[in-house]
Amino acid sequence: MKQAIVIGGGLGGLAAAITLQHRGLQVTILEKNSHFGGKLMPVQLGSHYFDFGPNTITMPHIFKRVIEQTGERAEDYFELQRLSVHTRNIFSDGSHFDFTSSREDMLRQLAGCDPFAAKSYDAFLQEVQRLYELSEAHFLPRLFTSWRDYLSPSLGKALLQVRPLQSLDAFFRKYFRNENLLQAMNRYATYIGSSPYAAPATFAMIAHLELSEGVYYVKGGNARIAAAYAEVARKLGADLRPDTEVRSVLTENGQATGVVTADGETLRADVVVMNADLLRAYPELVEEEYRPHFSNAKAAGYEPSISAFVVLAGLKIRNEGLLHHNVFFSDDYQREFTELFANGGYAEHPTIYVCNSSYTDPSVSPDGDNLFILVNAPSTKKRQVHGQAEQYKEHIYDILESKGIRIREHLVTEKIIAPPDIESMFGAHKGALYGISSNKRANAFLRPFNRSQDIRNLYFVGGTTHPGGGSPMVTISGLNVGEAIAGKIF
């Protein structure tokens, strides 16, 4: 039986492992943390449960596919619930707009605040659907293993059709006039850790996923997806080893032959899949002389996606004004992105996202709100801004309380997770949430390949490689790489 080692048990690694084990390889997953799921991490603080990481789940069929490919039913492992109103967008003038996948509800709200958009909404939905369908057909199922993969004529044609040269902001301005709404639409850029004023309009396909296909939540917490994957992988016979950090990848004659763990154990394998963020792990685990196509300078040249400043706050009350997903927008979105990307500092007037999953599922936090409060934050490239966690948290509480969200006097428990924590907990390059930013077109479309150019049988899955960051995308990368390896070996 061929042996495969997967370094890292994030969603990408788990999806690859299940695919490989199901297709007849013997898989060992080595994960440095004690939980599987990587950034999709369950956090329990007293009676308050939080999902750290992906709170907004789209593309449910992808998460189900990982299990269904083995012949099992995903429903037997986790229950996905579609949210009727998914995001309440609250603007600096006090008004709000609820995003929902009900076209009628969207049109009714648009008629009140943006009659132009009400007229163009159907055309908008059609165009974002077209963008998504092109990506689904030409980019998402494709493995990128070398430059040759970019030369496919069908891919080239599709690339020209997905608005690669237009910014997201310019695209949304064709359909919406109301500045508040534009801000809410532009926030989709943050789903790929990028700026709407720089990232290509291709990513407007995210609007299709949310506004037409819907936003989902997993009953009991989204981390149940990762727990289910770990259970399925074990059931299939994979060896899952938590608390096991890999220190180096072994190579012989230009081929990956195994790994050495932090405890000094050597494990041999026919193929190695790296799910650990490749911008950090590839340089750390493979000496530079063995990877001439991916020098340390090249790794350092990629712009990291944005990071996050997160506060988990458990309350003893339920705030009436909060839905499941809530966004409190700043009054100047453009300045916020300049502060994040150009200046590398925390935004002074940040947009604040608050997830309160106990709105949908009180069982995860029976005694009061479980607020996952997230503010976009710069990567850790510029370290000096990251020493002010307590003050920044207080600043965020001040803003939320000024908007009527009661926190301090009802606080039972809290925890701050800042960019340096994300960097160290998950081995994330510069604390990036989504690997590389898509602010430069080259980075959006020409990400590091799914296979090493220098070391045979060394593959990459996860947010930094193709097709990109975000929980469904990394899961797709695991499925694609697993299929490709299994297809090559058998």
Ligand X SMILES: Cc1cc2nc3c(=O)[nH]c(=O)nc-3n(C[C@H](O)[C@H](O)[C@H](O)COP(=O)(O)OP(=O)(O)OC[C@H]3O[C@@H](n4cnc5c(N)ncnc54)[C@H](O)[C@@H]3O)c2cc1C
Binding region for ligand X (CB under 6 A): 7-13, 30-33, 38-40, 53-56, 245-246, 275-276, 281, 308, 310, 374, 422, 426-428, 433-434, 462-463, 469-471, 474
Comparison of 18 and 40: residue with beta carbon closer to ligand X: 40
Minimum CB distance to ligand X, residue 95 (Å): 24
Comparison of 230 and 308: residue with beta carbon closer to ligand X: 308
Comparison of 179 and 243: residue with beta carbon closer to ligand X: 243
Distance CA 308, CA 311 (A): 10
Minimum CB distance to ligand X, residue 340 (Å): 15
Comparison of 178 and 471: residue with beta carbon closer to ligand X: 471
Comparison of 40 and 189: residue with beta carbon closer to ligand X: 40
Q: At what angle do helices 115-138 and 103-113 cross, to 10 degrees?
A: 140
Backbone phi, psi, residue 424, to 5°: -80, -35
Q: Which element (helix H / strand E) includes 125? A: helix 115-138
Q: Encoding tokens for residue 474?
A: 């990394």
Residue with tokens 């300078």: 297
Minimum CB distance to ligand X, residue 416 (Å): 12
Comparison of 117 and 385: residue with beta carbon closer to ligand X: 385
Of 318, 81, 98, the C-alpha closest to 218 is 81
Distance CA 423, CA 381 (A): 11
CA distances to 87, 345, 481 from 466, rounded to whole Å, are: 28, 28, 10
Q: How many CA atoms lie within 13 A of 321 on its CB side?
A: 16
Comparison of 8 and 314: residue with beta carbon closer to ligand X: 8
Cis before 196? omega within 30: no
Minimum CB distance to ligand X, residue 11 (Å): 5
Minimum CB distance to ligand X, residue 118 (Å): 28
Q: Encoding tokens for residue 32?
A: 């440095």
Cβ–Cβ under 8 Å, residues 282 and 299: yes
Minimum CB distance to ligand X, residue 356 (Å): 14
Minimum CB distance to ligand X, residue 243 (Å): 9
Comparison of 175 and 302: residue with beta carbon closer to ligand X: 302
Strands 246-252 and 255-261: antiparallel
Cβ–Cβ under 8 Å, residues 481 and 450: yes
For the chain, helix, strand, coil in percent to 5 are 40, 20, 35
Minimum CB distance to ligand X, residue 116 (Å): 30
